Amino acid sequence: MPRRYWYVIITYLIMQFSTIPVAFVVLRFYPDYYTEVIIYWSIFSFSAALLLTLYFMKPDMQQRADPEAASTSGVIGWSILGVFLALFTQMVAASIETYVLGIEPGSENTLGIMEIVRSNLIFALIPTIIAPILEEIIFRKIIFGSFYKRMNFFFAALLSALIFGIIHMDPAHLLMYASMGLVFAYLYVKTKRILVPILVHAGMNTMVVIAQLSIDIEQLERMLEDMQMIFLQLF
């Protein structure tokens, strides 16, 4: 594995665990601002990790595309098809978890993220844009890609998908996360374009955010009234 790939993985791990010392300091000295600090620190750390990752991956981005890589129309087509494939796989995994394994539906990880999004809409940038780019580069291009050079597709995809599921720290729904990882790995191999699983991953997360995000009508009206007042004061 090239050294720059290790830099990307280390950057991601530092970003993931950087919240722990920040949370400790905030709880110790500024407990009243805990939620706000954690939200903005998460946005900052994810954004910084993405910028560093793109910097480290610059040599890969400058390489010529595989001659068999999907064309622009192929990327669009497979991205659309991939969303439906991912949705179907997710439903199958959820059904197995609920009716076979007896696991309560609803991911604590997803619910926690949505609670934060409801309190601060800017946080939605992480699950809808930043995280899909980071995770697909790391789990598909780097980890799956490295495994795929040494073993067949099934084992490479399974191992990388399990790591992908574990890193979300929601063990009850490991099957669901791992099944999504398998779909993303398949799309990457099929199209030879990391952009496709990125788009599908981002599309899936965006659909979840939109589906679960509910804005109180009165709150929305107050927001509009505040915007009108600001507009009138300016002009």
Same domain, 214 and 125: yes
Q: Which domain holds residue 187?
A: 71-234
pLDDT value at residue 158: 86
Same domain, 128 and 106: yes
Same domain, 211 and 120: yes
pLDDT value at residue 121: 81
8 Å CB contact between 140 and 197: yes
148-153 long-range contacts (CB < 8 A, ≥24 apart) are: 148/189, 153/185, 153/186, 153/189
Cα separation, 172 vs 192, in Å, equals 32
Residue 160: name the closest of 135, 184, 181, 132 by CA: 181
Count structural domains, the chain.
2
Same domain, 95 and 38: no
User: Alpha carbon 169 to chain centroid distance?
Assistant: 13
- The verdict on whether 36 is a catalytic residue reads no
Sign of the C-alpha dihedral, residues 108, 114, 119, 120? positive
Is the residue at 77 inside a domain? yes
- The verdict on whether 173 is a catalytic residue reads no
Cα separation, 5 vs 13, in Å, equals 13
Same domain, 85 and 48: no
Same domain, 130 and 45: no
Same domain, 75 and 168: yes
Is the residue at 64 inside a domain? no
Two tokens at 218? Answer: 């009165």
Give the chain's radius of gyration (CA, Å).
Answer: 20
Same domain, 103 and 126: yes
Q: Out of 97, 136, 168, 173, which one is annotated catalytic?
A: 168
Cα separation, 179 vs 96, in Å, equals 11
Same domain, 50 and 133: no
Q: Out of 36, 68, 115, 135, which one is annotated catalytic?
A: 135
Same domain, 54 and 81: no
Same domain, 43 and 134: no
Is the residue at 66 inside a domain? no
Is the residue at 176 inside a domain? yes
Domain finish residue from 59, 80, 99: 59
- Backbone torsions φ then ψ of 140, nearest 5 degrees: -100, -60
Is the residue at 153 inside a domain? yes
Is the residue at 163 inside a domain? yes
**What is the value of pTM for the model shown?**
0.83
8 Å CB contact between 127 and 113: yes
Same domain, 86 and 170: yes
Is the residue at 91 inside a domain? yes
Two tokens at 212? Answer: 């679960």
Mean pLDDT of residues grouped by 10 in the chain (235 residues)?
92 91 88 86 93 93 83 92 90 85 72 75 88 93 92 88 79 82 92 94 88 56 54 50
Is the residue at 116 inside a domain? yes
8 Å CB contact between 61 and 9: no
